[in-house]
Structure 1
Amino acid sequence: MPANPRPSWPYLVVGGLSYPFLRVLFRYRAKGLERVPAEGGYVLAANHLSNADPWPLGMALFPRRYLRFMAKAELFWFPLGPFISACGAFPVHRGEGDLEAVATAIRLCREGHIVVMFPEGTRREKGLRKKHTARWRSGAARIALEAGVPLVPAGISGTDELSHLGALRVAYGAPIELNDLGSMPLEDAAHAATDRLSAAITELEGSLS
């Protein structure tokens, strides 16, 4: 098992500066950390409320772990692109079946990184420019199965209420059982794992209300 990759210095700086604000201003709390693997790579999958979702997901694991996450390719313009790359992001071309992004996620998991995924595919509520409808996708499960790493569910609340200083809450769950899916074709296994993941994330999110 590879050693846990060290976070980049921009990741550490942003995390160190923002942690007091999360704890005090947004009353940040996380539970279930004892269920999360302490070593090695895995896919961390959660419900998707806003673009800020990776922030509270990572803070409970900060500074020990370095979370990596897909961000839409349109964000990778200078100087934002190099900065968000240093903070853990890698580009994905949405709606195009981006095999390069998937291959990157699999490689990162195998190298010991935590790759954050949002199986709903897009934020549940956006403004008038919303182009994609949220629906459960099997990409997170497929990446975990192909990389041979755990698939860990999480629930988030409050990231859609940041402007109102809503309380931020995160609940981590135990890894989804995947061992019994090994004899199935990848497509079928990914869909079966996604059904389990959806149920686990929904339950975790409900526990935060």
Structure 2
Amino acid sequence: MKAQVYKDSRDQDYFDKFHERARTTEPNWVYEAVRVVTVLWGLIAFRMRGYHSERVPSDGAVILAPNHASFMDHFFAGAFIRRRVRFMAKSQLFSKPMEWIFSPGGVFPVRRGAFDEDAFVTTYSILERRGALVMYCEGGRSRTGRVSDRARPGIGRIALQSGAPVVPIAIYGSVRVRNWKRLQFPKVTILYGEPMRWEQIDRPTREQQQEVADAILGEIKTLYGELEQYGPKGVAERVRAERRAAKPAGVA
């Protein structure tokens, strides 16, 4: 895996146009085109399967919080829900020609290694317009393939200040997605958790932000542990059993 680059030497002004677009407009046809390609790629190459996607609210602001091990994770997280999902990407990716895809597709930049308040403003704008946002507790991609032990506080700040529900998501198998270059295609499984929500706080302390972020990460680790323990097939069987048990008597 290539070393992560945290500093972007370009001025903040360069990214103003991307934030403005994300704050004022919805993703256009580029989003749908990319979604079709990535979902088909996931289903065919990685035998992608998703469980309990009905736990994601069908309307209103929501934060989707998956673990992060692959560049495909934001596509995996949104593959089994009908809503358009937005996400922030490291600012280094916003250069031609990729910025012509990212910005129309609803992606906005974040300058890692800097206090990027613009990224937070854009995030709140999307949630205020009842949008769905993908945000990672761990910040960047895991370098070990394991879910991190400690979350970054940013997701806690956003959850508390916006009051939006957070859906924890475990993505299992994506750490090996990059192996497709060696013609190795791992099976990817996505397990959605129950929504979590906290009372809205205008100015949460750093400790409050961290506490919420750690709670979200704890749920992600629980879901991921379930996938590790039972395996994708075992989880599929458990989900089917839950659905059969939930059916009213006499319903086939």
- Asked if TM exceeds 0.5, the reply is yes
8 Å contact 2:151–2:210 — kept in the other structure? no
> In 2, Cα distance between the equivalents of 1:52 and 1:145?
27
Q: Which amino acid counterpart does residue 153 of structure 1 have in structure 2?
A: P
Give the deviation of 1:139 after TM superposition: 0.7
Q: Which amino acid counterpart does residue 27 of structure 1 have in structure 2?
A: R
> In 2, Cα distance between the equivalents of 1:92 and 1:69?
10
Which residue of structure 1 lines up, in the alignment, with residue 53 of structure 2? Answer: 33
Which residue of structure 2 lines up, in the alignment, with residue 151 of structure 1? Answer: 166
> In 1, Cα distance between the equivalents of 2:156 and 2:76?
22
8 Å contact 2:42–2:48 — kept in the other structure? yes
Which residue of structure 1 lines up, in the alignment, with residue 227 of structure 2? Answer: 208
Q: Per the alignment, do residues 183 and 87 of structure 1 end up closer, same or farther by CA in structure 2, a change over 3 Å counting?
A: closer
Which residue of structure 2 lines up, in the alignment, with residue 108 of structure 1? Answer: 126
Q: Mapping of 1:130-209 within 5 angstroms?
A: 135-162=150-177, 163=180, 164-179=184-199, 185-209=204-228
Which residue of structure 1 lines up, in the alignment, with residue 135 of structure 2? Answer: 117
Structure 2: unaligned runs, 5 residues or longer:
1-24, 229-252
8 Å contact 2:89–2:108 — kept in the other structure? yes
8 Å contact 1:153–1:173 — kept in the other structure? yes
Question: TM-score w.r.t. structure 2 length?
Answer: 0.71
Give the deviation of 1:148 after TM superposition: 2.1
* Residue in structure 2 matching 1:19, options 39, 48, 55: 39
Which residue of structure 2 lines up, in the alignment, with residue 97 of structure 1? Answer: 115
Q: For structure 1, which segment, 10-19 or 197-206, has the greater mean C-alpha deviation from structure 2 after superposition? A: 10-19
8 Å contact 1:176–1:196 — kept in the other structure? no
Q: CA RMSD in A?
A: 2.3
Give the deviation of 1:207 after TM superposition: 1.9
Give the deviation of 1:197 after TM superposition: 0.6
Task: From the CA coordinates, give the structure whose radius of gyration is larger.
Answer: 2
SS of the residue 1:11 aligns to: helix
Which residue of structure 2 lines up, in the alignment, with residue 82 of structure 1? Answer: 100
> In 1, Cα distance between the equivalents of 2:121 and 2:211?
21
> In 2, Cα distance between the equivalents of 1:199 and 1:140?
13
Q: Per the alignment, do residues 24 and 193 of structure 1 end up closer, same or farther by CA in structure 2, a change over 3 Å counting?
A: same
Give the deviation of 1:190 after TM superposition: 1.7
Q: Which amino acid counterpart does residue 69 of structure 1 have in structure 2?
A: F
> In 2, Cα distance between the equivalents of 1:29 and 1:72?
27
CA distances 1:163-205 after superposition (whole Å, capped 9, x unpaired) = 22101111111122413x7599443332221121111010111
> In 1, Cα distance between the equivalents of 2:107 and 2:149?
21
Q: Per the alignment, do residues 98 and 25 of structure 1 end up closer, same or farther by CA in structure 2, a change over 3 Å counting?
A: same
Give the deviation of 1:30 after TM superposition: 0.6
Question: TM-score w.r.t. structure 1 length?
Answer: 0.85
8 Å contact 2:159–2:198 — kept in the other structure? no
Give the deviation of 1:59 after TM superposition: 0.8
8 Å contact 1:106–1:144 — kept in the other structure? no
> 1:8 and 2:28 equivalent?
yes
Q: Which has the higher helix share?
A: 2
